[in-house]
Amino acid sequence: MKIFNEENESKLVQFPNGKVNIVGARWLVRRILGTGAYGAVYEVQSVTNPLISGALKAESNSATDSILKLEVEVLKQLQSRKYTVRLLYSGKRETYSYMVMTLCGPDLLTVKNMKNLVTFSESTTLRIAVLSLYAIKQVLLRGTLRYCSVNTHKRNEQGRVDDLWSLMYMLIELRCNYLPWSKATREDRILYLKESIPDKQLLSNGKMEFYERILAHLRKLRYPDRPDYHYMYKLMVSPMIRKRYLFNEPYDWEVVSEGATQEESESMKKSSTSSPKSVSPIDVKPFNSIIPEDIPVAQEHAFDEGENDVPDIMKTSYHVYHRRQDRGQRASQDENNVPNEDLP
């Protein structure tokens, strides 16, 4: 993990405030969004089309452990996938390199806090769960210390199951407003809590009925295993069918007023979905009744095996290459261990 210090700060790519800065004759720098080791992120606007905004990440060419080039290559590979930021442009100047990608909005935890919501409702959380499950079904991630899996903490190889641990930790926090390690800052302490706290205690608030069954499924999976996305999807959608939540009803942050209570939010949501078009799931196909056809990523078939899946880990070029390397190293070691009959 990189550490931000004074030496790194001196290498940051900085565009002075109050001046017009145009990068690559294409992007007008508006403001700085954040900084990290050797890198800074700016909000930019297209010079040719002011309606297009983006996030420009700039990195010093003198950085010894530059990762921007790798990020560009990864984003290029992900452009056909839904729920990934789009690479708008990339380039290199004399002293720095940069890329421009989709300008994203605030994360869900920030949205919840901005609206003064203690937790998200069950309906909102279930829909976030389904859409997030589809997203990580087709794109791998790692997660921050707060949400990453135990394997990630231990620097072990990460498989598809590790993404799902991150998803579950996120959902628990959004719904219950609680993670036992949310205030911990040391990684060893966070790892200890994640390993030692049993699932029943982690889910003690009991607001999401399917959590324990999904966590039990995740604990059975090994590194190369494919999670049963279809099984998890059905667990997430079943409460929506039984309680007649509609997938296209407003989310909590779309109906709540600043400072409103959660009860007021729920009341406003019910009134906004009380039109005759809001049919109940009785006597119709259950999944189709709550999920409109214009939301294909939430349909049941989207979670079938092979449907936009991340490639089988054991068949990726990375693992094929490293297996060959391992075999070559073992063969070399075997040759070195063969006794030389010419020696006395």
Question: pLDDT category, 306, cuts 50, 70, 90?
Answer: low
Round to whole Å and give the CA distance between 257 and 267: 12
Measured distance CA(193)–CA(41) in Å, rounded: 33
Whether the full predicted model's pTM is greater than 0.85, yes or no, is no
Structural domains in the chain plus CATH codes: 24-101 (3.30.200.20), 108-312 (1.10.510.10)
CA separation for the pair 235, 254 (Å, rounded)? 25
Higher pLDDT, 8 or 91: 91
Radius of gyration for the alpha carbons in the chain, expressed in angstroms and rounded: 24
Whether the pLDDT of residue 165 is over 60: the answer is yes
Return the structure tokens found at 67.
């990762």
Q: Write the CA distances from 343 to 36, 296, 334, 338, 339, integer angstroms.
A: 58, 71, 18, 12, 8
The pLDDT value recorded for residue 316 is 46
Sign of the C-alpha dihedral, residues 161, 170, 127, 308? negative
Per-residue pLDDT tens digits for 211-231: 889 999 999 998 889 999 999
Q: Tokens representing 15?
A: 């565009």
pLDDT at 342: 44
**Pairing outcome for strands 22-23 and 53-60:** unpaired
**Site of tokens 């089309």:** 49
- Exposure string for 229-240, b = 16+ CB within 10 A, e = fewer: beebbebbbebb
Question: Which pair of tokens denotes residue 235?
Answer: 């667990």
Contact between 215 and 168 (Cβ < 8 Å) = yes
Q: Average pLDDT for residues 74-81, to the nearest whole number? A: 83
